[in-house]
Structures are given as structure tokens and as C-alpha cells.
A and B are shown apart, each in its own frame.
Chain A
């Protein structure tokens, strides 16, 4: 595994936004992280990027192993060498990652100057090459533009080029296309997939779009209220979802040719982190509750390459 997260628990004061998170991604592979708003997807990304201390949080338990190195043991100085270098993050809103007063080309240069030790001229030619590969039209010209002179889709491509400039082994994309139109979204996702396949980097793709997951990922971790509730290969997860939450999420996607009235949604809503239900965190919304579900948290059971945390599958069998 290029990266593996093992039994991760994080704390912000008394709150624990992530508990018992296990997942992994290999080189040349795409791991999808999916779940409703507030389920802990971005927190997982922030933990891997070593940003928790900067946000007022900390790792309470577990390991984050990247290429053999446990990242929970390294200091901020060592992290700074990794961030934007071997591990890069693409955030949802490109404007937060771009400096409005610096030409976009220069912003891409900075990563390769810092992490690859290129001089300015080498960095520029690498940047133009990257912009070209991101299919940014006339990169020589675009190099000198400011962020506000570009459309949302082009800005997001600049942010991806920035993330790639330091030649990362692991890329985390946190909802990279949510703010974009469907046609642009399709192009950008396709671009990310090609990068993984051609350059062999590992990608963690965070989204709440099950369609994107189905079309691109190798494996999926479904998150709910700070926990991974189901984890496994994408085809098996869609063909035979084991956790009632996974099943419910899949049934919420409008699909072509669906009969009217068949889309019902998941009753209730995600509980707030201050007010988590006792027992299984999904039980108030679950359609298959057992007595046990109200009392204890179901442990994660792994069998045959897939994991699920649900009493219906205790012991791994159905």
C-alpha cells in the first residue's frame, strides 16, 4: 500500500469527528470516499495532509502510513516538505488555493521550484507542459493570466496542475468538481483518471456523487458520522451493498428511465457531531434495525476483501 490509514481517531476538544477509520490506496489506484455532508470526508483528507494541528485538532489514536513512514510521528517541518511535494491536495474551491494577485503560471512554478529544486526557467517549461497536458488552451498565453481572468473550469485545471507540479505520489482531490458544470466536471474527472492510469499515482477522490464513484474508483469507503461503515471493491459494493446506508445512498441517485415515485430518499437527517445516537450511528434512519443496533456500536468486520460495520453482517456472512 502506498498509503494506509489504520484505526484513526481524531479529536477537536471533546468532539471526535473521526473514529476507527481504516482505509488504504495503492499506486495507480483510485480510492473513493463518499458520504453525506458532515460525514468526515474532508477531515480524513486533513488528517492525511497533517493539517489538524493547524486547525486546532489532533490525532488521538491510530497510524497514517505513507510509503513506510508513519506520518503521525513526524513534525510540521517534515510535513512541509511532503505537502505539495509527494502528497498533494486539490480542494473544492479553486479560489481558496489560488493567490488572486499572482499570475497562474508563476503559482504552478512555485511548487516545482520548491519541491523539485528546478530553476525558474526549468520550472516555467515544466509548467507550460503541465498546462498543456491539462488541456488548457494556449498555455503560453494562459501562463501570464491572473485567476480572475479564467473560467471556473480552467481555474480548477490550474489547481490540478499546481498539485501535480511537485510530482506527487499521492493526490487527494476533495470534491474537485462540485462547483462546476456537468460537461466541465466530466472533463476534469476524466483528466484525473488518466493521470492515475498513466503516471501511476495514488488518488483519493472525495465526492458525494455515487455516479462519479461508480465510473472511476477501484475501491470505495462509505463514511457516515465520522466512521467508515463499508469498504470494498467498487463493483461488489454497488452490486451487493451490505450496509443499509450504502444501499440507501445508491437508491437516492436519480437515474435515466427510473419510474416516478421510486426515489424516496433516506428518512431523517445526519445527526450533529454533538448529538450522536447511542449504538449504531445510523440506526435512527435505518430500515433494518435490530435490538442490538440501539445498544452497541457495530464493529468493523472484514471478510473476503470487503469490510462492513453492521450487525446484519456480524461475522462477515450475510
Chain B
């Protein structure tokens, strides 16, 4: 079966203005990213602040233009379609944003916010049809129907995020990209929202791309995880498998295990994320990596398959003998 989403060699460079006597600089926010998402799967994207997660999401939804690469959605390259041809397709892929406060106009009632996607797509509905649609959407995300008349300042964080999800579902999309949808919520509410997303996926046959910086959450919720570092994929990790890349391991070791009987020292990874302005010749993680060898700073490690669903970009921890059939898998 062809994947619902196929991203190939996707890159985005931001140029800074430079200004008086300053050189124009190029910032590589996303570099040479390729991956597939099967229909019905949840793909997680993790990495530290600034590694390019949101830029990748916006490229996939063509909210910004790529510098290079292809985004095949259901067989069609939405990265190269003319802007006008994108609009009717938009109903099939929707986004839920991190900050439930900023993504919805504060002057709109919940009802208006939920009707907006239909207006954007020029879909006309009778009053009766609109009401039953709103009722259905509110029910879908377990909000009381009376909430249709509320303004967002009257809602809690979790309720706002539910409205954001209902809005993304309004046009029955196939793919929903969720950019840190629970980052501003308490864990108790985060767990509610994740349970809701899981249930919706099963019932409506949705496909998700789920961005987060919480590796434990992503491992819980996602079928496969892209681990990004400085704009590149360093590992594609299937659920339940142990990480192989030193950076993914560092991320995992930095998590605080909620069990006081399993206390351990957190291995430090020193140093800061390098700047994306200077294209590194070797692995971008080399300065912080405990396993780094001489070759790591000389050439860029390519993403190579370890098994059908697991791939890693690391000279030291990469596959030893890659079987021929996998070599061009990615």
C-alpha cells in the first residue's frame, strides 16, 4: 500500500537580511529530510528547541515553501503544486497548534471558530446543518454542546485544545499534524487529550504527525518516531525498540523516571546545540557525543536502515553490514 505521506529530501533554508555591512546568512532549519507515514499510523517527531520540528510541520502542510524536496500526499506532490491548486486539497490535511490561545481569534465564539474552516473552503450549509455539524464536533471531542456560545477566555487550557482539535476535524481530514498540542497543559489534562486523540484516530481512521519534545510521551503515543537534531533526522525509531543513536540515548537518559526506587545519576551531555548557520562537515552532534571518533567530524553520517522500520544516521552506531535490499530503502 502506498503511504499516505511520503517526504523526500525536503529542505528549508531561511536567509537573514544581513543588513548594513553584514553578510547575508543562510540558516538551515530543515535539511534533506525523508520519511513515510502509513495511513492510520501516528508518526512522532522529537528533538530539542530549534531543531526544526515546527518548520518541518509547516513544510509538510505547505504553509511555507520548501527550498528543495517533495511532499507526496496521497500520491500528489503538494510541494510543487501551484498555490491555487493547494487550497481545495487543504481540507485533507489540518494542523493543531501548540498554543491553544493563539490559534483561535479571541473575538469568535466556539461556534464561529468551528464554522470558520467551512467558510475558508466555501462550503455552504443551512442553519440546521451547521447546528448539527457543530453538535457533532463538540460531541466528538467530549465538550458540552452548551459550550458553542462560549468565548475562548471562558475556556480552560484543555477545553481550548479540544476546540482546536474539533476545528481540525471539521472537514474530515485524512492527516492531522499536531504541533506540541499538550505542551502548555497539565499532565492530567495532557493525558485526557492524548486519550481523546487515540480514540479519534481509531474511530475516524486518522493519520497523525505528532510533534513533541517529550520522548516518553511520543513513545507512548506513536508508532514510529523521527528524532531530529539541527534540522536533520538522526534516527527513525519504531515503537518498542531501543534507541541506537547517541543523541536519542541522551534524550532518553535525560528523562526523569517517576520512580524513587530507581534513582540514577543523569549522564550529562555537555555543550549547547550548535548554530544552524554553519553547515557542519561531519555529524552535527559530534561536539556533544560521548562516542565520537575522528571520522565523525570529517563526513556527514547518512541515514541507514537497521531493519525495516528502524534507521540511524551515525558512523559509530550505524549498521555494520547493510544488506543490499535495505541500502536504498531510504
Interface residues of A (CB under 8 A from B): 36-37, 135, 151, 153-154, 181-183, 185-187, 189-190, 208-217, 234-235, 238-239, 248-258, 260-261, 263-267, 269-270
- CB-CB < 8 A to A257: which residues of B? 240
Contact of A249 among B188, B214, B264 (CB under 8 A): B188
| Complex CA distance for A267 and B195, rounded to whole angstroms | 11
Whether B258 and A211, one on each chain, are in contact in the complex, defined by CB atoms closer than 8 angstroms, is: yes
How many chain B residues touch A (Cβ–Cβ < 8 Å)?
A: 46
Within 8 A of A (CB), among B147-197: 156-159, 186-195
> Which candidate, B54-62, B97-105, B249-257, is the interface stretch facing chain A?
B249-257
- CB-CB < 8 A to B187: which residues of A? 36, 208-210, 249, 252-253
- CB-CB < 8 A to A208: which residues of B? 186-187
B165 smallest CB distance to A (angstroms): 14
Is B39's beta carbon under 8 Å from chain A?
Answer: no
B284 smallest CB distance to A (angstroms): 14
Q: Can you list 28 A-B contacts with CB-CB less than 8 angstroms, sorted by A residue number?
A: A37-B186, A135-B270, A153-B272, A182-B48, A182-B251, A183-B48, A183-B251, A189-B266, A190-B268, A208-B187, A211-B257, A212-B256, A214-B256, A216-B256, A217-B260, A248-B188, A249-B188, A251-B191, A252-B187, A253-B187, A254-B191, A255-B220, A256-B219, A260-B198, A261-B195, A265-B188, A266-B192, A270-B186
- CB-CB < 8 A to A239: which residues of B? 260-261
- CB-CB < 8 A to A186: which residues of B? 253-254, 256, 266, 268
| Complex CA distance for A8 and B159, rounded to whole angstroms | 32
- CB-CB < 8 A to A269: which residues of B? 156, 158-159, 189
| Complex CA distance for A264 and B190, rounded to whole angstroms | 9
| Complex CA distance for A208 and B264, rounded to whole angstroms | 20
| Complex CA distance for A117 and B272, rounded to whole angstroms | 35
A248 smallest CB distance to B (angstroms): 7
Contact of B260 among A36, A209, A215, A253 (CB under 8 A): A215
- CB-CB < 8 A to A265: which residues of B? 188-195
B256 smallest CB distance to A (angstroms): 3
Interface residues of B (CB under 8 A from A): 48-49, 156-159, 186-195, 198, 213-217, 219-221, 240, 250-261, 263-266, 268-270, 272
- CB-CB < 8 A to B159: which residues of A? 269
Whether A182 and B213, one on each chain, are in contact in the complex, defined by CB atoms closer than 8 angstroms, is: yes
Whether A264 and B192, one on each chain, are in contact in the complex, defined by CB atoms closer than 8 angstroms, is: yes
Whether B254 and A182, one on each chain, are in contact in the complex, defined by CB atoms closer than 8 angstroms, is: yes
| Complex CA distance for A254 and B251, rounded to whole angstroms | 15
* New contact pairs (18) apart from A189-B256, A255-B220, CB-CB < 8 Å: A153-B272, A181-B213, A186-B253, A208-B187, A215-B260, A215-B264, A238-B260, A239-B261, A249-B187, A253-B258, A254-B216, A254-B217, A255-B258, A256-B255, A264-B192, A265-B188, A265-B190, A266-B188
Whether B251 and A255, one on each chain, are in contact in the complex, defined by CB atoms closer than 8 angstroms, is: no
Whether B192 and A261, one on each chain, are in contact in the complex, defined by CB atoms closer than 8 angstroms, is: no
Whether A215 and B220, one on each chain, are in contact in the complex, defined by CB atoms closer than 8 angstroms, is: no
| Complex CA distance for A217 and B195, rounded to whole angstroms | 30
| Complex CA distance for A284 and B233, rounded to whole angstroms | 45
Whether B257 and A215, one on each chain, are in contact in the complex, defined by CB atoms closer than 8 angstroms, is: yes
Whether A263 and B256, one on each chain, are in contact in the complex, defined by CB atoms closer than 8 angstroms, is: no
Known A181-B213, A183-B251, A186-B266; contact A252-B190, beta-carbon cutoff 8 A = yes
- CB-CB < 8 A to A238: which residues of B? 258-261
| Complex CA distance for A216 and B259, rounded to whole angstroms | 10
Contact of A214 among B49, B257, B272 (CB under 8 A): B257
- CB-CB < 8 A to B266: which residues of A? 186-187, 189-190, 215
Whether B260 and A235, one on each chain, are in contact in the complex, defined by CB atoms closer than 8 angstroms, is: yes
Most buried by A among B214, B220, B265: B220
| Complex CA distance for A212 and B266, rounded to whole angstroms | 11
| Complex CA distance for A266 and B190, rounded to whole angstroms | 9
- CB-CB < 8 A to A261: which residues of B? 195, 198
Most buried by A among B191, B257, B260, B266: B260
Contact of B195 among A135, A189, A216, A263 (CB under 8 A): A263
| Complex CA distance for A107 and B53, rounded to whole angstroms | 35
A150 smallest CB distance to B (angstroms): 10
Whether B191 and A266, one on each chain, are in contact in the complex, defined by CB atoms closer than 8 angstroms, is: yes
| Complex CA distance for A217 and B256, rounded to whole angstroms | 12
| Complex CA distance for A255 and B258, rounded to whole angstroms | 8
Whether A256 and B268, one on each chain, are in contact in the complex, defined by CB atoms closer than 8 angstroms, is: no
B269 smallest CB distance to A (angstroms): 5
Whether B260 and A182, one on each chain, are in contact in the complex, defined by CB atoms closer than 8 angstroms, is: no
Q: Closest residue to A209 on the B side, CB-wise?
A: B256
Known A181-B213, A255-B216; contact A235-B256, beta-carbon cutoff 8 A = no
Most buried by A among B156, B250, B266: B266
Q: Closest residue to A258 on the B side, CB-wise?
A: B220
Known A182-B215, A215-B260, A235-B260; contact A187-B190, beta-carbon cutoff 8 A = no
| Complex CA distance for A13 and B49, rounded to whole angstroms | 41
Whether B220 and A187, one on each chain, are in contact in the complex, defined by CB atoms closer than 8 angstroms, is: no
B24 smallest CB distance to A (angstroms): 22
| Complex CA distance for A217 and B156, rounded to whole angstroms | 30
Q: Closest residue to A264 on the B side, CB-wise?
A: B195
| Complex CA distance for A189 and B195, rounded to whole angstroms | 30
Whether A181 and B259, one on each chain, are in contact in the complex, defined by CB atoms closer than 8 angstroms, is: no
| Complex CA distance for A189 and B260, rounded to whole angstroms | 15
A182 smallest CB distance to B (angstroms): 4
| Complex CA distance for A253 and B220, rounded to whole angstroms | 10
A151 smallest CB distance to B (angstroms): 6
| Complex CA distance for A261 and B87, rounded to whole angstroms | 35
Whether B254 and A183, one on each chain, are in contact in the complex, defined by CB atoms closer than 8 angstroms, is: yes
| Complex CA distance for A265 and B189, rounded to whole angstroms | 6
Contact of B250 among A183, A185, A215, A252 (CB under 8 A): A183
B52 smallest CB distance to A (angstroms): 14
Contact of B258 among A36, A135, A214 (CB under 8 A): A214
- CB-CB < 8 A to B156: which residues of A? 269
Q: Closest residue to B194 on the A side, CB-wise?
A: A263
